[in-house]
Chain A
Amino acid sequence: MVPLSYYLVLSAILFACGVLGFLLKRNIITIFMSIELMLNGVNLSFVAFASQWHALSGQIFVFFVMVVAAAEAAVGLAIIISVYRTRDTLNVDRVDLLKL
């Protein structure tokens, strides 16, 4: 028997690591990955609550989160590629020119 709060703590930790990565990392792809990590943290809490309240909709919601994450990853990576092509760097601090 695993108390629900353990799952919540785990997802909270994952989410916190995602946020830290989002804030601290300088490589755009790594930032992107920390966002995915955050999403995974959220998915875990979704499934945990689904099983606690016996509502399958929690799990269904995880699917939709995944779909959105996939779409986001696709477009995000395309953007990263085009940024790399024009700026020739992936360091976030370098990519701060407010015009094209």
Chain B
Amino acid sequence: MSFWIYTLVAVIKIALMLFVLLTAVAYIVWLERKVVGRIQNRWGPTRVGPFGLLQPAADGIKFILKEDLTPPHVYKPIFIAAPIIAVVFALTSIALIPFGNSVHILGYDIPLQITDVNTGLLIVLGITSMGVYGIALAGWSSNNKYSMLGSLRASAQMISYEISLGLSLIGVLVLAGTFSLRDIVQSQGGHFPGYIPHWNIFRGQIVAFFIYLTSAYAETNRIPFDLPEAETELVAGYHTEYSAMKFAMFFMAEYANMVTVACLATLLFLGGWNGPIFGPPLLQVLLPVLWFFLKVFVFIFIYIWVRGTMPRFRYDQLMAFGWKFLLPLALANLIITAFVVAVRA
């Protein structure tokens, strides 16, 4: 493929990917409010459109139209930069995630992935670790005690859980033997006798899966670990001073992170787009993508479900749990998997 065609395909893929991601983000918000509502025995948004389906659009318009004020005593340059940083890093990590097998159109074999880098997982980790700056700077630049305290707690929490996240992934890497996400998914094809698919979750990585899940919740500041913007204690945490559009950006960054983490989970543990494929060639192309989205939806549902039921951690419990329980567990899991692989090899 010549250079130009490659760029054209890339642009199309990027546009498609962004559109899907942003609408997904919006509708996850809607889904979350509906499910939490149902959990709390109430309906959730129903007014705007059938079953409240247009609620996200309404919110979006609200955020755009509201007055976006920047308080005078803030540290202006960084106050504005913080949400941008948060959103940028949240969205870039989506680029590396393969959501389907390759497709033949007009004789070209186009992989359903924006870019395939052989150290893909590493770069995703890098980008998530850079995401901390958005929140840290936001809290600090808005120059008030609550947001400052919130941002300190958020950055401390994210750094500590990043380590256990990384360690839990290594188990999968040891099995897959490569950093490239596409290869990891392909290594999970096929199935054991008795129709148990080769997903990593069944190949001894069950513990790693749960470690990954908990540290993912901490990474995205979701309910059990959403201390930074805990309404009851720190008003709104690090984005107290932010209004309309900037606030929306933080919101978007958070949910984008959730989607990324969910995709990663499916890729690494639930075998990505692997699933029973049957029917005509067009269907065979679409089914893997369908399987992938189905699994992602399961994860997001679990997210919302946990949000509705779990109480919030106290801060020192949170840190102690991260360092004293999760980290050793991840190390143990790593050692066992390495041991097993070494024995089998």
Q: Within 8 Å by CB, do A and B touch in the complex?
A: no
List residues of B whose CB falls within 8 A of some A CB: none
